[in-house]
Amino acid sequence: MNGKVYLVGSGPGDPELLTIKAKRLIESAEVILYDQLPGKAILDMLPESAEKIDVGKYAGNHKLSQWQINELLVKRAKEGKIVLRLKGGDPYLFGRGGEEAQTLAAEGIKVEVVPGITSAIAVPAYAGIPITHRDYASMVTFITGHEDPDKEETALNWELLAKFEGTLVILMGVSMLERNVKELMKHGKSVDTPVAVIERGTRPDQRVTIGTLADIVGLCKQRKVKAPAVTVIGDVVKLHHELAP
């Protein structure tokens, strides 16, 4: 008889932001597939009794391809194991959880998604940036900063995004920051638009770099900003100086 797979969101990195259900499932899983995104504090909580498999997903260095991860989930589940795929943030927000769920469903394997607190909201919050505010933004758009490299064309409409009057939140966008900023300015976004790049959000070593579209790339190079980081673009960034802890 097949086992079951849980696609579990671990949240943005602060272990206290794990859901009660996520913590319970981590403690009872027989097999855990993880990458670096949950962060050391959460990975240190993984039980000794579980088979732990590092599936990589480091920037530019994936230990396993996505199809290999899918294959491993299916294999372990067909061995009758309770399998947990531990993901940073939420599994269904740029986490490829939908692809994994489709694969498992096609194989007749039970799969359950456990939502996690997304870094798109929590990381700006920890930096004193509410992504919506009645005085600054009544809309928000989440953008992947790392599209499928096999795509022939980008799915992002930069002309539309440049005209968007709400907050733009870009996940996994450090390596493409310069391109993204250039696209926005090329399509008419004001060079004075405030920008925040938040590294290792919600963790003890969180770091925030504040600038504008005109200078954020230079500032990030100067400060050697590295992934994981969340980029927030819009007037709500102005609140950082008032609300940051």
Per residue in 186-210, pLDDT (tens digit) is: 999 999 999 999 999 999 999 999 9
Separation of alpha carbons 209 and 116, rounded Å: 25
Catalytic residue flag (residue 52): no
Number of domains in the chain: 2
Catalytic residue flag (residue 45): no
Residue 76 identity: R
Tell me which of 35, 81, 87, 189 is the catalytic residue.
35
Tell me which of 57, 81, 87, 189 is the catalytic residue.
57
pLDDT in tens, 15-45: 999 999 999 999 999 999 999 999 999 999 9
Closest-CA residue to 131 (of 235, 243, 216, 213): 235
Mean pLDDT of 102-126: 98
The CATH number assigned to the domain holding 159 equals 3.30.950.10
In the predicted structure, residue 146 carries a pLDDT above the cut 90? no
Catalytic residue flag (residue 235): no
Supply the range of the domain harboring residue 237: 119-243
Decide which of 62, 95, 114 is a domain's last residue.
114
pTM of the model: 0.92
Tell me which of 81, 87, 172, 189 is the catalytic residue.
172
